[in-house]
């Protein structure tokens, strides 16, 4: 019997590796999520074949991380990551293995994985390989390091952030010894690259129970060693859950009273995320003075307003807030959403006045934009012309 697990192309990859005489299994998050009855998005495959051997088996492969043993196989147009069984030896800097050693035994590979629930493998025939009691931990909703937690966090301090990330995503508790090891090793998070921390934080934000993770981050003193984190998470927790990662970053920024620039720099956020946060900062200042105005609805994306309002309400729980539906309705009901929506442009102004271009054109386009936005004039070429010529004559 073959297993109804994974996508058809991913099953094909496992089958072809087996047919070529190698071992191949599904591993990692997809197996864990399957046992939790959740739909997995990507199906990672581990194999006894070396990367070179993997490349021989398949006609279309891409080298994505060959030094770490990962080859991307393109099967029926689907990209599938195949990673050679490996161990990682001597971590001198708490970050990355000094040397990746390929091994032929699945159990050795599973042993280097972070948590028991992530050290599970599933064969094509449906056999579950669980050498570290991952199934029981899943049942008990426990995040437990594989082997000695202190050693494992010493090898790679990111695992501590992964532990809190999983507690948010799954709503699980971190097992006692694992938690204690986080407390003892929290300071070594400072050695981890920001990019890796950021990737875990993005998943943490949109988990089902971020507050659980925040509490652990504070209790274990991880907060002191993260790039930026408030020492009080009351406001941050009151903002949960988050629909998108940007809401999480916004809440972190406002709850911690950090500036958008500082937060973006500390976590190496993308330019898009940075400009989102800059807008949230500005929208929050506006909101401190009262409900959002037409100009605010016009200026800010609705996602920015929603993220801002979420934090504002967490800080002012007894004051009347603005419903998401109301913000969406306000945004949609604007007469224009940008200058491009105006039915006239600068050339029209020059034609109507028989004047050459200049600064005046931009100034008048701003006035027209304001007039249409505030419904002093409908967004109609003829009516704008009439309104404009009137005002233009009056002001000359
Ligand atoms: P998600 O569903 O969020 O992708 P995941 O468990 O698949 O969760 P990944 O970051 O995709 O997480 O990693 C895939 C697998 O690789 C993990 O399940 C785990 O077995 C292993 N792994 C990832 N990062 C580490 C690490 N820092 N230390 C040890 N093992 C790790
Ligand atoms: Mg994954």
Q: How many CA atoms lie within 13 A of 70 on its CB side?
A: 9
**Cα of 286 from ligand 2 centre, angstroms:** 40
Ligand 1, residue 158: give the atom nearest the CA: 27
**Which CATH number characterizes residue 321's domain?**
1.20.58
Does one domain contain both 124 and 207?
Answer: no
Residue whose structure tokens are 């998470």: 233
3-state SS of the chain is: CCCCCCCHHHHHHHHHHHHCCCCEEEECHHHHHHHCCCCCCCCEEEECCCHHHHHHHCCCEEEEEHHHCEEEEEECCEEEEEEECEEEECCCCCCCCCEEEECCCHHHHHHCCCEHHHCCEECCCCCEECCCCHHHHHHCCEECECCCHHHHHHHCCHHHHHHHHHHHHHCCEECHHHHHHHHHHHHHHHHCCHHHHHHHHHHHHCCCCHHHHHHHHHHCCHHHHCCCCCCCCHHHHHCCCCCCHHHHHHHHHHHCCCCHHHHHHHHCCCHHHHHHHHHHHHHHHHHHCCCCCHHHHHHCCHHHHHHHHHHHHHHCCCCCCCCHHHHHHHHHCCCCCCHHHCCCCHHHHHHHHCCCCCHHHHHHHHHHHHHHHCCCCCCCHHHHHHHHHHHHHHHC
Domain boundary among 176, 201, 226: 226
Q: Which residues pair with 143 in a beta bridge?
A: 174
How many angstroms separate the alpha carbon of residue 125 from the centre of ligand 2? 22
Ligand nearest to the CA of 118: 1
- From CA 31, how far away is CA 298, in angstroms rounded? 46
What value does the mean pLDDT take over residues 251-271? Answer: 98
Give yes or no for a contact between 17 and 75, defined as CB atoms under 8 angstroms apart.
Answer: no
Looking at the domain assignment, is residue 235 inside a domain? Answer: no
- Provide the number of structural domains found in the chain: 4
Same-domain check for residues 330 and 345 = no
Residues 141-167, mean pLDDT to the nearest whole number? 97
70 Cα to the center of ligand 2, angstroms: 13
Determine which residue's CA is closest to atom 3 belonging to ligand 1. Answer: 29
Take atom 4 of ligand 1 and give the residue whose Cα is closest: 29
**Residue 2 pLDDT exceeds 90:** no
Question: With 80 as the cut, is the pLDDT of residue 94 above it?
Answer: no
φ, ψ of residue 87 to 5 degrees: the values are: -120, 165
Give the predicted TM-score (pTM) of the model.
0.93
Same domain, 5 and 78: yes
Q: Is the pLDDT of residue 53 over 90?
A: yes
Confidence of residue 40 (pLDDT cuts 50, 70, 90): confident
- Same structural domain, 221 and 297: no
395/127 Cα distance (integer angstroms): 83
What is the length of the chain? 396
- What tokens does 396 get? 């000359």
For 116-148, the pLDDT digits (tens) are 999 999 999 999 999 999 999 999 999 999 999
- Ligand index nearest the alpha carbon of residue 27: 1
Ligand 2 centroid to Cα of residue 92, in Å, is 26
Q: Residue 218's domain is classified under what CATH number?
A: 1.10.110.30
pLDDT single digits (tens) 77-90: 999 999 999 997 66
259 shares a domain with 163: no
Hey, how many other C-beta atoms are within 10 angstroms of the C-beta on 287? 22
Pocket of ligand 1 contains residue 28 by CB under 6 Å: yes
Ligand 1 close to Cβ of residue 29 (< 6 A): yes
In a domain, 283, yes or no: yes
Q: How many CB atoms lie within 10 A of CB 262?
A: 14
Whether residue 332 is predicted with pLDDT greater than 80 in this model: the reply is yes
Are 122 and 31 in contact, with CB atoms under 8 Å apart? yes
Residues 25 and 82 placed together within one structural domain of the fold: yes
Task: Tell me the CATH number at 387.
Answer: 1.10.246.80
Q: In this structure, which ligand is nearest to the CA of 166? A: 1
218 and 308 share one domain:
no
Measured CA distances, 291 to 256, 272, 323, 338 (Å): 23, 26, 11, 21
- Cβ distance 85 to 104 under 8 Å? yes
- Is residue 252 within 8 A of residue 267, CB to CB? The reply is no
Is 323 found in the same domain as 375?
Answer: no
Q: Which of 40, 41, 113, 158 to mutate to test the pocket of ligand 1 (most atoms within 8 A of CB)?
A: 113
Main-chain dihedrals φ then ψ at residue 293, nearest 5 degrees: -95, 175
- Higher pLDDT residue, 1 or 297? 297
Please work out whether the CB of residue 311 comes within 6 Å of at least one atom of ligand 1.
no
| Contact criterion met (CB below 8 Å) for 109 and 120 | no
Residue nearest to atom 12 of ligand 1 (CA): 29
Domain final residue pick, 122, 138, 154: 138
Confidence at residue 92, expressed as pLDDT on a 0 to 100 scale: 63
Question: Which pLDDT score, from 0 to 100, does residue 99 have?
Answer: 76
In a domain, 126, yes or no: yes
Structural domain ending residue among the three candidates 315, 334, 353: 334
Domain that holds residue 352: 341-395
> So what's the pLDDT on residue 41?
81
109 Cβ inside 6 Å of ligand 1: no
Is there a single domain that holds both residue 4 and residue 84? yes
- What is the structure's pLDDT at 383? 97
Same domain, 125 and 149: no
Q: If you take atom 27 of ligand 1, which residue's CA is the nearest one? A: 159
Whether 144 lines ligand 1, by a CB cut-off of 6 Å, is no
């Amino acid at each position: 019997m073959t297993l109804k697990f994974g996508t058809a192309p991913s099953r094909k990859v496992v089958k072809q590796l087996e047919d070529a005489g190698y071992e191949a299994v599904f591993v990692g998050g997809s197996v864990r999520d399957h046992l939790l009855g959740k739909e997995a998005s990507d199906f990672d495959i581990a194999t006894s074949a070396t990367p070179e051997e993997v490349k021989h088996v398949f006609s279309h492969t891409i080298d994505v991380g060959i030094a770490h043993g990962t080859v991307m196989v393109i099967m029926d147009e689907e990209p599938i990551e195949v990673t050679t069984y490996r161990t990682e030896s001597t971590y001198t800097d708490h970050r990355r293995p000094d040397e990746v050693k390929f091994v032929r035994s699945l159990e050795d590979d599973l042993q280097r994985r972070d948590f028991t629930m992530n050290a599970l493998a599933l064969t094509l025939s449906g056999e579950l390989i669980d050498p570290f009691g991952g199934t029981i931990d899943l049942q008990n909703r426990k995040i437990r390091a594989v082997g000695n937690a202190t050693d494992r966090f010493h090898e790679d301090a990111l695992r501590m952030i992964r532990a809190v990330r999983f507690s948010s995503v799954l709503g699980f508790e971190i097992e006692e010894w694992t938690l204690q090891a986080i407390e003892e090793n929290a300071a070594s998070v400072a050695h981890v690259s920001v990019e890796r921390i950021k990737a875990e934080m993005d998943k943490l934000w949109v988990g089902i129970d971020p507050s659980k993770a925040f509490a652990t981050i504070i209790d274990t003193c991880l907060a002191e060693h993260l790039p930026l984190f408030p020492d009080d998470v009351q406001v941050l927790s009151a903002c949960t859950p988050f629909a998108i990662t940007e809401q999480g970053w916004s809440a972190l920024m406002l709850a911690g009273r950090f500036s958008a620039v500082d937060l973006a720099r500390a976590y190496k956020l993308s330019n898009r995320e940075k400009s989102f946060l800059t807008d949230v900062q500005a929208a929050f200042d506006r909101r401190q003075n009262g409900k959002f105005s037409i100009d605010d609805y016009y200026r800010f994306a609705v996602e920015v307003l929603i993220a801002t309002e979420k934090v504002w309400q967490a800080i002012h729980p007894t004051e009347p807030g603005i419903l998401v539906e109301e913000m969406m309705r306000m945004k949609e009901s604007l007469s224009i959403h940008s200058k491009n929506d105006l039915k006239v442009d600068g050339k029209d102004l020059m034609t109507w006045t028989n004047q050459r271009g200049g600064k005046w054109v931009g100034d008048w386009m701003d006035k027209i934009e304001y007039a249409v936005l505030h419904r002093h004039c409908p967004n109609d070429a003829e009516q704008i012309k009439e309104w404009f010529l009137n005002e233009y004559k009056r002001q000359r």
